[in-house]
């Protein structure tokens, strides 16, 4: 019996755009052939509401997942707590921490995430047995440094442990990111990244590589309260590409602020319907606290909800 995580990922990706078999000489890879389910869902309500277009805008503790180079934009210690309610009982919990190292023009970050779902075992005749939890657990550590006033580089090391019934597997990988502010001397930000470069994971008799991903993004700030971004993502092993666009507008009346967000992700999930790929969200800030919410529909599979609470230490 397949794990719910595997069934959902297959429904969203493999069944939508079947990649050519035999992409690599030593195995058959295509959509949904890789492991690390939690690395494919994203973290944080702000990026989710913007369709995942966040590579160049990433800053603060959530940069740990989206682009570690963004950690250098931290001015105070920051912690975030994230909850994802996916469909069919799949949930994801995450905590991220970022801290600037002022004397070194750098910053570091730490994070934990736990993607899980409850399943029921069945015997050879299909009769239900005891329930169990299948999961993806990962821990991350990141370091970023400012090379110049505009150029930052960052790296994240992460370990992952997967479990399904009595089968377990562990692996590790790296993310590499770059951000360039004031690109072409304009109110533009450039982001580049390579993610999930690491060891394959085996679960039972199956062996799958991490979802190696190449990304590029360009953000534009035409006005102080308005951010727009477009990202391109390519997964060579899963053999599909995604284009994400998103924007946010912030209204501020100190110490209160409110942000409206929207985005659209062009990719395999669009086969689920026109709205599958759309996203909207709201952010509310008060002094050191920031609460963000994102709603992302997946067609007939249902709606997903993500909530993130962020606290910035020392912020007024």
Structure confidence by residue, pLDDT tens digits, 197-243: 998 887 666 777 888 999 999 999 999 899 999 999 999 988 889 99
The predicted structure's pLDDT at residue 164: 77
The predicted structure's pLDDT at residue 70: 97
In sequence order, the β-bridge partners of residue 244 are 231, 265
Mean pLDDT of 252-273: 92
Does 32 or 118 have the greater pLDDT score? 118
Mean pLDDT of 176-182: 96
Tell me the helix, strand and coil percentages in the chain, rounded to 5.
15, 55, 30
CB neighbourhood size of 19 (10 A): 21
The predicted structure's pLDDT at residue 103: 86
Ramachandran angles phi, psi of 26, nearest 5°: -100, 15
Does 11 or 50 have the greater pLDDT score? 50
Q: What is the pTM of this model?
A: 0.85
Compute the distance between CA of residue 240 and CA of residue 265 in angstroms, rounded to an integer: 13
Compute the distance between CA of residue 116 and CA of residue 142 in angstroms, rounded to an integer: 24
Give the DSSP letter of residue 184: G
| C-beta of residue 144 within 8 angstroms of C-beta of residue 70 | yes
Structure confidence by residue, pLDDT tens digits, 31-69: 456 777 778 888 999 999 999 999 999 998 999 999 999
Domain count, the chain: 1
For residue 34, give the CATH number of its domain. 2.40.160.60
* Residue-averaged pLDDT of the chain: 85
Compute the distance between CA of residue 43 and CA of residue 61 in angstroms, rounded to an integer: 11
The predicted structure's pLDDT at residue 30: 47
Map tokens 């973290």 to a residue: 43
Q: pLDDT band for position 1 (50/70/90)? A: very low
Compute the distance between CA of residue 226 and CA of residue 231 in angstroms, rounded to an integer: 17
The residue among 121, 127, 69, 119 whose CA lies nearest residue 98 is 69
Q: Domain limits at 218? A: 4-312
The predicted structure's pLDDT at residue 37: 74
The predicted structure's pLDDT at residue 13: 34
Compute the distance between CA of residue 57 and CA of residue 189 in angstroms, rounded to an integer: 7
| C-beta of residue 212 within 8 angstroms of C-beta of residue 236 | yes
| C-beta of residue 251 within 8 angstroms of C-beta of residue 225 | yes
Mean pLDDT of 299-308: 90
Structure confidence by residue, pLDDT tens digits, 119-128: 766 666 766 6
pLDDT above 60: residue 305 = yes
Our CA angle for 209, 210, 213, nearest 5°, is: 120
The predicted structure's pLDDT at residue 22: 27
Give 152's Cβ-side CA count (13 Å radius).
33
The residue among 7, 4, 94 whose CA lies nearest residue 47 is 94
% pLDDT > 70, the chain: 84
The predicted structure's pLDDT at residue 122: 64
Our CA angle for 15, 17, 18, nearest 5°, is: 80
Give 100's Cβ-side CA count (13 Å radius).
16
Mean pLDDT of 62-78: 95
Our CA angle for 93, 175, 115, nearest 5°, is: 20
pLDDT above 90: residue 132 = no
């Amino acid at each position: 019996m397949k794990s719910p995580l595997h069934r959902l990922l297959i429904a969203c990706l493999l069944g939508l755009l079947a990649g050519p078999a035999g992409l690599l000489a030593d195995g058959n890879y295509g959509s949904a052939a890789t492991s690390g389910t939690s690395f494919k869902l994203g973290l944080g309500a702000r990026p989710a509401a913007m369709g995942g277009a966040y590579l160049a805008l990433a800053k603060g503790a959530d940069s740990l997942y989206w682009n570690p180079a963004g950690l250098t934009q931290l001015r105070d210690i920051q912690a975030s707590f994230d909850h994802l309610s996916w469909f069919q009982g799949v949930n994801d919990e995450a905590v991220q921490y970022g801290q600037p190292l002022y004397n070194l023009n750098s910053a570091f970050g730490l994070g934990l995430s736990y993607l899980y779902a409850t399943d029921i075992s069945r015997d050879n005749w299909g009769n239900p047995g005891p329930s169990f939890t299948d999961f993806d657990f990962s821990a991350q550590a990141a370091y970023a440094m400012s090379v110049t006033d505009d150029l930052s580089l960052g790296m994240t090391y992460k370990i992952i442990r997967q479990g399904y019934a009595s089968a377990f597997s562990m692996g590790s990988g790296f993310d590499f990111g770059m951000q360039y502010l004031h690109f072409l001397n304009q109110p533009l930000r450039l982001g580049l990244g390579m993610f999930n470069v690491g060891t394959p994971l085996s679960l039972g008799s199956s062996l799958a590589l991490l979802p190696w991903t190449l990304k590029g993004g360009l953000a534009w700030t035409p006005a102080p309260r308005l951010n727009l971004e477009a990202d391109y993502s390519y997964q060579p092993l899963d053999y599909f590409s995604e284009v994400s666009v998103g924007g946010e507008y912030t209204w501020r009346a100190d110490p209160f602020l409110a942000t409206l967000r929207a985005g659209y992700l062009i990719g395999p999930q669009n086969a689920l319907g026109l709205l599958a790929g759309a996203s909207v969200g709201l952010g509310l800030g008060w002094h050191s606290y920031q609460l963000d919410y994102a709603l992302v529909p997946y067609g007939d599979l249902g709606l997903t909800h993500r909530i993130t609470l962020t606290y910035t230490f020392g912020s007024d």
